Chain A
Amino acid sequence: MIMTRRKTLATGIGAMGAALFVPQLAMAATTEEAISAFTGGATPGEGDLTLTAPEIAENGNTVPIEVSAPGAESIIILAAGNPNPDVATFNFGPLAGEQSASTRIRLAKTQDVVAVAKMSDGSFIQAKQEVKVTIGGCGG
């Protein structure tokens, strides 16, 4: 077994660093509106934007997701099936070492998680993945 941070902390010799982000709530009613507000009406294309999320959520209340888009100025994350689809907007300053971020989100039900990145040339790219929220219980 690997010495995880959990174990290290449990034995009292740990030190930790944390990265912070500030959720930006635009309160858009639908995913389309939220994307449109973010892009100024432009339709996002495809590009080098990686959205990493589990195929099936182990716990819909805290689903780990990660976005990465080299050269992005900001990335917005939306949960298309939540009552309020806005999740977070990550802004990357010129000194950011890499344009990636991870967080945990709450998903009310099976739905698409959508990420849209604003690139430094003003273009927008999009990625999405379905995350299944299941009642489970019968694998074997």
Chain B
Amino acid sequence: MIARRHFLQASLATSALIGASGFGNWSRLAAQQTLSQDDLIGPDGSGNVTLIHITDIHAQTQPIWFREPEINLGVGDVAGLPPHLTGDAFRKAFGIEKGSAMDYALTYDDFVALAKTYGKMGGLDRISTVVKAIRADRPDALLLDGGDTWQGSLPALRSNGADMVKLFNALKTDAMTAHWEFTLGLDRVNEIIEGEFAGAFLGANIFDATWDEPAYEPMTMVERGGQQIAIIGQAFPYLPIANPSWLFPDLSFGVRQERMAAVVQEARDAGAAAVVVLSHNGFDVDRQMAANVPGIDVILTGHTHDAIPEPVMVGQTALIASGSHGKFVSRVDLDVQSDGVKAINHRLIPIFSDVITPDAEMTAMVDETRAPYADEMAEVVGRTSSLLYRRGNFNGTWDDLICNALISQREADIALSPGFRWGASLLPDQDITREDIFNVTAMSYPNAYRTEMSGEQLHLIMEDVADNLFNPDPYYQQGGDMVRVGGMGYRIDVSQPQGSRITDMTLLRDGTPIEPDKTYNVAGWASVNEGTEGPPIWEVVEAHIREQGDVSIDPNASVDVAAG
């Protein structure tokens, strides 16, 4: 049998070259099926300073399937702008050929067929190979991790993030910022920062809530290419709202635009020739911050899991979006002189796991972190005949499965599942292992609650979450996607203001309208309230899959979307 790696390399027809950030080149290469490791990593870089950006890996150390969203609506000024492009619009904007490798990596269409052609993506040992190759060219390249690193898998959950800290130390991570990290609890985060993580932990917008003063280092200054480079961290602004604040009491976050402007100024005053923001704001928030805060050369964006093949320029600021789950690594080469950044080159390097050779050292280290849980993770729980994925503004089949599990196992009328954007996909006709279930559920507040809610309360929740996603002012958006709903259909008009977006809420069981005064049994998980009771969601999902044996998810037709 010919390994896919060999197949892809064997058909090398010409010595194709990839330009610095070339779009047309990607499609030409892919059309010729000429992917090789060297093509993916690319030629030596330009300039005198190199940044390597990894973000939102969500503790995925193994190659995975990951389907990008079919629906990713932008509202207000950002409608139709990257990253709010999917399918044909995405391919057209970036000159990507349908059916090509980059099409598979960056869009949703024909996902199952293309997945079989191009294979899984990611894997920390492949990422390590890419990082080492970049460092062979530029030994002092800075490795910057945008956060959401210590959460999202069974080993990360069980080891309280210790596995990922160890592995990212091995990658020689220079600095990171955070979001889900804080859901491990404040004491654990501080323990890691003080004793385990070898890089700098940065968050200019993390404050002590009582004293309103900085709680963590805002930035680090390093000399590269003979120039001072400032790396400023920006943690997820809405941690105490989107995640349980009782896990990190007394910390306050927020966008804090004035604070960012002050820290940028401080960096410039201290002689920074280049200012890089390592951000977990989410793309639209970063776009607005770049427009409002002068003096930032590069924002390495995160949180919203967007992969964009070229920098998005906002004035003089380049926004880089490096995807999620280890699917991509960004290489950013800067030409930095004493009077500023003269040029920027960016490569979004797709980690095709069958093309890039694993770094054996990292493979061994990853295996070591997984060994204590290997048997538990490998246990087959059932099988799926449907593609299971998570991304999309309104639903994903993984979430449909979770909602079905909540309704059947918790005997509820309606199920709510948070609009998380993390979680690997599964192809049809694949076994579902316990590891697969944890890849979409592993977190520190997993209790599956069951409660009574009035129709009015349900509507309030739907409107509140919708506004967090579709408020036309990005600073009022929290990222994530719309709460997933089982057992209830609704219509949403994203162009309306809060309170008027959600209509036609219907109980699917009998087709009756949801009545404001009537009480419904609602099951859900990941409540931000302290003391939430119920079994962990992975037990609920596992029990449901075992009962089903073979899981099949019908296309979800219960959300009617009007985009205005």
Residues of A within 8 A of B (CB): 1-2, 4-6, 52, 54-56, 58-59, 64, 102, 110, 130, 132, 134-140
Whether B208 lies near A5 (C-beta < 8 A) is: yes
Given contacts A55-B255, A56-B238, A140-B419, contact A6 B243 (CB under 8 A): no
Q: Are B254 and A4 in contact (CB under 8 A)?
A: no
For the complex, is B193 an interface residue (Cβ under 8 Å from A)? Answer: yes
Flag whether B61 is at the interface (Cβ < 8 A): no
- Contact partner of B253 (CB less than 8 A), chosen from A58, A138, A140, is A58
Please indicate which of the listed interface residues B238, B473, B526 has the most CB atoms of chain A within 10 Å of its own CB. Answer: B238
- For window 472-497 of B, CB contacts with A under 8 Å fall at 473, 475-476, 478-480, 483
CB under 8 Å from chain A, chain B span 205-239: 208-217, 236, 238
Specify which of B255, B476, B527 is in contact with A132 (CB 8 Å cutoff): B476
The residue from B190, B194, B254, B467 contacting A54, defined by CB atoms under 8 A apart: B254
Contact B478 A2 (CB under 8 A): no
Residues of B with C-beta under 8 A to A54: 254
Complex: A1 Cα to B196 Cα, angstroms: 13
Number of A-B residue pairs having CB atoms within 8 Å of each other in the complex: 101
Given contacts A134-B468, A136-B464, A140-B420, contact A56 B241 (CB under 8 A): yes
Q: Are B215 and A139 in contact (CB under 8 A)?
A: no
Closest to B305 in A: A140
Inter-chain CA distance A102–B212, complex, in Å, is: 10
Question: Which one of A2, A6, A110 contacts B250 once the chains associate, using CB atoms below 8 Å?
Answer: A6
- A80: shortest Cβ distance to chain B, in Å? 16
13 A–B pairs (Cβ distance < 8 Å), ordered by A? A1-B190, A1-B215, A4-B208, A6-B210, A55-B254, A55-B473, A56-B478, A130-B476, A137-B418, A138-B419, A139-B236, A139-B242, A139-B478
Residues 409 to 445 of chain B near chain A (Cβ within 8 Å) = 418-422
Cα–Cα distance between A5 and B212 once the two chains are bound (Å): 10
**What's the Cα separation between A2 and B216 when bound, in Å?**
5
B478 touches A136 (CB 8 A): yes
A102 and B207 alpha carbons, distance in the complex (Å)? 16
Further 7 A-B residue pairs, CB within 8 A, beyond A132-B471, A138-B465:
A2-B217, A4-B215, A6-B210, A102-B212, A137-B242, A137-B526, A138-B420
User: How close is B90's CB to chain A, nearest CB, in angstroms?
Assistant: 22
Residues of A within 8 A of B190 (CB): 1
B456 in contact (CB, < 8 A): no
The A-contacting residues of B in range 446-466, CB under 8 angstroms, are 460-461, 464-465
B475: nearest residue on chain A (CB-CB)?
Answer: A55
Rounded to whole Å, the gap between the CB of B388 and the closest CB of chain A is 17
**Cβ-defined contact, B460 with A135, below 8 A:** yes
A39 to B232 CA separation, bound complex (whole angstroms)? 43
Taking CB as reference atom, which chain B residue is nearest A4?
B208
**Top 9 A-B pairs ranked by shortest CB distance?**
A139-B242, A140-B420, A136-B241, A139-B478, A58-B240, A138-B418, A55-B475, A139-B480, A137-B528
The residue on A at minimum CB distance from B524 is A137
Chain A CB within 8 A of B258 CB: yes
Query: Which A residues touch B129, using CB under 8 A?
Result: none
Residues on B with beta carbons closer than 8 Å to the beta carbon of A5: 208, 211, 213
A6 to B206, CA, bound (A): 14
Bound CA span A55–B245, Å: 17
Closest to B210 in A: A6
B residues within 8 A CB of A139?
236, 238, 241-243, 468, 478-480
The verdict on A4 contacting B528 (CB below 8 Å), with A56-B478, A59-B240, A136-B241 known, is no
Closest B residue to A53 by CB, please name it: B254
Q: Which residues of B contact A132 (CB under 8 A)?
A: 467, 471, 476
Min CB distance, A12 to chain B, in Å?
16
Complex Cα spacing A116 to B125, Å:
58
B interface list, Cβ under 8 A from A = 180, 190, 193-194, 201, 208-217, 236, 238, 240-243, 245, 250, 252-255, 258, 418-422, 460-461, 464-465, 467-468, 471, 473, 475-476, 478-480, 483, 498, 526-528
Report the bound CA distance from A77 to B199 in whole Å: 43
Closest to B419 in A: A138
Give chain B residues whose Cβ lies under 8 Å from the Cβ of A135: 460-461, 464
Taking CB atoms, residues of chain B closer than 8 Å to A110 are: 498
Which of B180, B254, B418 lies in contact with A58, CB distance below 8 A? B254
**Beyond A1-B217, A5-B211, is A140–B480 a contact (Cβ under 8 Å)?**
yes
Most-contacted residue by chain A among B236, B258, B418, B464 (CB, 10 A): B464
Most buried by B among A2, A4, A55: A55
Return the contact of A140 from the options B418, B464, B475, B527 (Cβ within 8 A).
Answer: B418
The residue from B193, B212, B468 contacting A136, defined by CB atoms under 8 A apart? B468
| In the complex, chain A residues whose CB is within 8 Å of the CB of B241 | 56, 58, 134, 136-137, 139
Which B residues are in CB contact (< 8 Å) with A1? 190, 193-194, 201, 215-217
Residues of B within 8 A of A58 (CB): 209, 240-241, 245, 252-254
Closest to A110 in B: B498
Of A6, A136, A137, which is within 8 A of B208 by CB? Answer: A6
A32 to chain B, nearest CB (A): 22
Q: Give the complex CA separation of A54 and B208 in angstroms.
A: 15
- Chain B residue nearest to A8 (CB atoms) is B211
- Tell me how far the C-beta of B468 lies from the nearest C-beta in chain A, rounded to whole angstroms: 7
Chain B residues closer than 8 Å to A6, beta-carbon distance: 208, 210-211, 250
- How far apart sit A135 and B545, CA to CA, in the bound complex (Å)? 32
Say whether B217 contacts A64, CB under 8 Å. no
Please report the C-alpha to C-alpha distance between residue A49 and residue B277 in the assembled complex, in whole angstroms: 28
CA distance A100 to B252 in the complex (A): 22
